[in-house]
């Protein structure tokens, strides 16, 4: 039987050595959340291989380095409100929660993570994982299409999408707080994509920055690809 704790520590330290992980709060979050607990039994023994892994229903959870980069590129920190479009198995949502609402801080200081998953069966699985792992106070897991934003919640400091869109949805930009950041892969559903960082200034000015090539599953929903 694998010693997942030691393997997790080795994998996360490897990301630190590669300068992918830099923020102490993100390092602590990834050390704390056990990826293996969110995976199907047939891939659990690959939990800390730095690669996307299948999580059923034709979907994957992102590679460890991509989880780290989404946290680092967004500047995620204590107290922020985060929207994740594509909750999957719930692992990444819980990592974000340990950054914005760490368990060793008072709940008074906590931010919150909202995550939406459009695949009903996967939404059920992800919600069960979040609840089983004790994150339901810090993560709200909903079933539905958030490709153009999440209704009746408000606005967010950070929006992260874990699937590739044809273009940047205006509804997501509209739900960014002043000073907020959106990270979204843009490009062909099955081929090469670019990870784009969208910033909204305190005055509402929008800027875009290309962070390099990535490979994500295609976005579904009203602002996704027709598949």
Taking only the tens place, the pLDDT of each residue in 162-200 is 999 999 999 999 999 999 999 999 998 676 899 999 999
pLDDT at 227 over 70: no
Give the start-to-end residue ranges of the domains of the chain: 4-214
Rounded CA gap, 153 and 139, in Å? 13
Average pLDDT rounded to a whole number, residues 86-96: 96
Average pLDDT on 89-105 reads 97
Angstrom distance (rounded) from CA 212 to CA 73: 12
Query: What CATH class does 4-214 carry?
Result: alpha beta
- How many other C-beta atoms are found inside a 10 Å radius of the C-beta of residue 135? 23
Strands (E), 56-110: 60-61, 81-85
Mean predicted confidence (pLDDT) in 25-34: 98
**Does residue 142 carry a pLDDT above 60?**
yes
Rounded CA-CA distance 79/186 in Å is 28
* pLDDT surpasses 60 at 89: yes
- Partners of 137 in the beta sheet? none
> Does the annotation count 62 as an active-site position?
yes
Mean pLDDT score, 74-98: 97
Tens digits of residue pLDDT in 38-79 = 999 999 999 999 999 999 888 899 999 999 999 999 999 999
pLDDT of 37 above 80? yes
The set of residues, in sequence order, having a beta carbon less than 8 Å from that of 170 and lying 6+ positions away, is 148
Mean pLDDT confidence for 199-207: 95
Prediction pTM value: 0.95
Mean pLDDT of the chain, nearest integer? 94
Residue 1 pLDDT exceeds 60: no
Q: Exactly one of 5, 6, 23, 62 is catalytic; which is it?
A: 62
Span 102-138, pLDDT tens digits? 999 999 999 999 999 999 999 999 999 999 999 999 9
* pLDDT in the model for residue 225: 79
Quick one: pLDDT at residue 181? Answer: 98
Would you give the DSSP letter of residue 165? B
């Amino acid at each position: 039987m694998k010693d997942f704790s030691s393997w997790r520590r080795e994998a996360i330290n490897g990301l630190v050595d590669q300068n992918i992980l830099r923020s102490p709060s993100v390092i602590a979050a990834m050390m704390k959340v056990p990826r293996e607990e969110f995976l199907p039994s047939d891939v659990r023994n690959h939990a800390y291989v730095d690669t996307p892994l299948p999580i059923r229903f034709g979907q994957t959870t992102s590679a460890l380095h991509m989880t780290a980069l989404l946290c680092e590129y967004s500047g995620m920190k204590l107290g922020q409100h985060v929207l994740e479009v594509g909750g999957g198995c719930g692992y990444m949502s819980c990592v974000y929660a340990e950054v914005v609402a760490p368990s060793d801080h008072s709940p008074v200081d906590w931010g919150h993570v909202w995550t939406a998953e459009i695949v009903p069966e996967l939404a059920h699985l992800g919600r069960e994982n979040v609840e089983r792992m004790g994150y339901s106070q810090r993560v709200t897991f909903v079933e539905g299409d958030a490709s153009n934003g999440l209704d009746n919640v408000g606005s967010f400091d950070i929006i992260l999408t874990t699937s590739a869109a044809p273009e940047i949805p205006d509804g997501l930009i509209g739900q960014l707080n002043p000073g907020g950041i959106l990270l979204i892969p843009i490009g062909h559903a099955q081929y090469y994509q670019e990870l784009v960082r969208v910033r909204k200034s305190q005055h509402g000015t929008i800027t875009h920055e290309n962070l390099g090539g990535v490979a994500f599953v295609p976005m579904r929903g009203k602002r996704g690809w027709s598949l």
